Structure 1
Amino acid sequence: MKKITFILIFFISFSTLKASEENFYSFALFSIGLSFLLDDEVKEFVNSNRGETLDDLTSFFNQFGSASSIFIPIASYGYGKLFENKVLEETSKKAIFASIIAVSIVFPLKYITKRERPDKTDNYSFPSGHTALSFAIFGSYAKNIKGFKKYLLYSIPVMVGFSRIYKNHHYFSDVIAGGFIGYLSVILSEKFDKFSFERVKTIPFCDCSIKKTGLGIQYYF
């Protein structure tokens, strides 16, 4: 428990700094490495604090990191374009691109690390795709607003990450890595000003070997 308290104080202290991108990368690598030391303690802490309220709450937030959550920025982009809301349109465009970047980083890492999930299912654990995708989407919107709404938006991917640990789908380190990847995707999407949404195509797919369906995103350069 002392380790958890220390790391939370460390994260909160750093979040108050106006850090440069170089500091962000260093902090991300350091935090991911440190988070591996907390996997067992966080798992034990979560298991000792289960209850009906958290069961329902985590089930609700878990969906905001699923593949279908990509339709949030897609729908927002369409709404912004239809009603000529340029800010919403541009922010949604960046959120879509950030999602593409996040997924492009997460899945190769999963197959490189091949870390077994805590619930022993077939899918790989590191890093958390749900957390990365959620941070990429909601972080894109949060980055462009101020005040209470900013923190409200950031609370969604934080709860998604907690939900993945609570549901025993991921370790703490998986979620921390996923969060940083998601936020990195937001930073990178800001750099691609010439990104064209018209070059993006969504492709539904089915993997019959594992009886799962999904949504692929293809970008034409």
Structure 2
Amino acid sequence: MKRYLFTLIALILSFSLFAQETEVTGSRKAVRTTGDVGAVLLPVAGLTAVLLQKDWQGLKQGVFSGVTAIGVTYALKYLVKKERPDHSDNRSFPSMHTSTSFAAAAFIQRRYGWKWGLPSYILSTYVGWTRVYGKKHDWWDVAAGAAIGAGSSYIFTRPFAQKHSLTLSPVAGDGHYGIYASMTF
């Protein structure tokens, strides 16, 4: 299993080397594309690790982490309506690419340790950098996405959720929507 995860992470890191080569030529679009690939490959690496190990508890934790990161990020994009640096739309804050890649990196680190987590965090940081370099986000958009993604995984991925008896439930009524959270200290 570790061999497969290592192969996926090596593949991901090779895209970052390609991007460094591309940066020399000055093509922002090519650099953004490598960031797009990294943002997709990190969650795929986490899912692959879960499936190869038949880690069904990990699958549940990863799904909750990913859905939370994506949900919070989308909600903020539509509430904040910050214009992108390239003026293409007003959905800049926070960065979805960074949110999903940091959720995957934090999940991999929490579930499988720093040996796999460190390369994942390095790639996530690279993904965030590509978004700033590509003029799709400002640095604070990326920082917020990273915090949302990592925070989502830290909440749901063992040992935090078990240790603190974390309970999250959706709440809806009379035009109001939210999440009820309860935990012990």
Normalised-by-shorter TM-score class: 0.5 to 0.7
Verify the 8 A CA contact 1:105 1:181 in the aligned structure 2: yes
Give the aligned residue type for 1:80.
Q
- Residue in 1 aligned with 2:36? 62
Q: CA deviation at 1:104?
A: 1.3
Verify the 8 A CA contact 2:105 2:117 in the aligned structure 1: no
TM-score when normalising by structure 1:
0.54
Verify the 8 A CA contact 1:131 1:175 in the aligned structure 2: yes
- Residue in 2 aligned with 1:187? 154
- Residue in 2 aligned with 1:93? 60
Q: CA deviation at 1:146?
A: 4.1
Name the CA distance, whole Å, in 1 between partners of 2:135 and 2:42: 21
Give the aligned residue type for 2:74.
F
Structure 1 residues 159, 54: CA separation in 2 closer, same or farther (over 3 Å shift)? farther
- Residue in 2 aligned with 1:52? 25
Verify the 8 A CA contact 1:106 1:127 in the aligned structure 2: yes
Verify the 8 A CA contact 2:84 2:136 in the aligned structure 1: yes
Q: Secondary structure at the match of 1:144?
A: helix
Verify the 8 A CA contact 1:125 1:170 in the aligned structure 2: yes
> What is the total number of aligned residue pairs between the two structures?
139
1:133 aligns with 2:100: yes
Gaps of 5+ in 1: 1-49, 196-221
- Residue in 2 aligned with 1:118? 85
Give the aligned residue type for 2:111.
N
The 5 A counterparts of 1:145-164 are 145-164=112-131
Name the CA distance, whole Å, in 2 between partners of 1:98 and 1:187: 8
Structure 1 residues 114, 92: CA separation in 2 closer, same or farther (over 3 Å shift)? same
- Residue in 2 aligned with 1:10? none
- Percent of residue pairs identical: 26
Gaps of 5+ in 2: 1-22, 167-185
Deviating 4+ runs (over 6 angstroms): none
Name the CA distance, whole Å, in 2 between partners of 1:155 and 1:109: 25
Q: CA deviation at 1:173?
A: 0.5
